[in-house]
Amino acid sequence: MSLSKAPLWLPSAAALELMQVRPQTLYASVSRGRIRAKPDPADPRRSLYHRDDVQRIATRARGRRSTEAVASETIRWGEPVMASAVSTVAGGRLLYRGQDACALASYATLEEAAGVLWESESPSFVSATPTVSVPEGMQPLQAGLVALASRAATDPPSRGRSPMVLKAEAADVIGTLADALLGPAPSRSMALHVRLAAAWRRPRAADDLRRALVLMADHELNASTFAARVTASTGASVAASLLTGLSALTGPLHGGASAAVQALVRHAIAVGTEAAVREWLAHDRARAAFGHPLYPAGDVRCSALLEGITLPDTFQELRAIGEKLVGEAVNIDFALAAMAAVHRLPAHAPFTLFALARSVGWTAHVLEQQATGRLIRPRARYTGPAPATVDEKPPRSPHPSRRSASTR
């Protein structure tokens, strides 16, 4: 079977043909999380298996790959790239240190989720440091970046300091971020979801905000978390690590995905839902509202967040038509956009929720990385021009007196 022509989801016969193994081996790979599987829409008694996962296992079975090939693959959607006890997605469930995140979201606050992820008492996200000066009229995201950058320039390095001190500092840094995004806290005892509801003048949204914060607190080694861990591995301050995470989160393929969902909804209102989705697919845009590689049977965070929410007609129609045309269930980005619409929250609310919640997860990974004492320093696979041979003279620099500094 040609991989380029193979469908994304394969029936068991095709998967077994590629892998050249017994059915038991295929099922074992699924149970260990090495191959994603989902029910076959045509026959729910059967399963479909993700083509890329099957191909990866098949390639490995045909012979041991080079270290370079393995490393290149893991940096994308391959095997886990580093050890972590913070969170994982296994069997379609999101687990925070072994606890089901969806179950935790049914009753816990973000502060309590932080206690689980940080293995500590529940912190209070109110900054005790002087308020960082942010220019008046600045948008929340800009204000958050400025506030963290200001602290990153002055806070001490994290290396060599005790976990207890770092946890206290992290709670204070998250308080600084919250002040920048929402304004100064009116009370030190106010939980973050209550503070959000008050800042947005939507008291009835408080419980849904609480649930969303807990569900978004961590999600394995995603792009922003990996960025934060790389920064932490250098010994940089907690604020610097969170600033790196927030910067990565701004990308449209990560924290900006809910904004794409909001744009799709506006387009659906303007031209009709089916026309909007078809146009979206025709332009090969990122599927912000549908599917997630770690949840082939559907994003459990989405289901947990929408549990108590009645979708507006536009969102109901988008869900039905989009799932039919795309072939994937709606995800957490859809749920965040829907919740914001139901409660008439500010347009930036999904990103603000994402940033505040994920700062807790970034901190957990920063603490874990500091405990290893190791620098994260992968190598590049060079694809540039070939170096000059011994007989060739290198091109002469137009500025022979200048010397570039050595870097690591």
Contact 346/200 with Cβ under 8 angstroms? Answer: yes
Q: Is residue 333 flagged as an active site residue? A: yes
Q: 155, 292, 299, 365: which one is catalytic?
A: 292
Distance CA 25, CA 88 (A): 23
Q: How far is CA 378 from the centre of its chain?
A: 21
Residues 6+ apart with CB under 8 A from 12: 23, 26, 46, 47, 49
Contact 9/50 with Cβ under 8 angstroms? Answer: yes
Tell me if residue 107 falls in helix, strand or coil. coil
Q: Dihedral, CA atoms, 223, 226, 228, 230, nearest 10 degrees?
A: -140
Dihedral sign for Cα atoms in the order 60, 65, 71, 72:
negative
Distance CA 352, CA 358 (A): 10
Q: Dihedral, CA atoms, 111, 115, 120, 126, nearest 10 degrees?
A: -20
Q: 193, 219, 333, 365: which one is catalytic?
A: 333
Distance CA 171, CA 174 (A): 5
What residues act catalytically? 292, 333
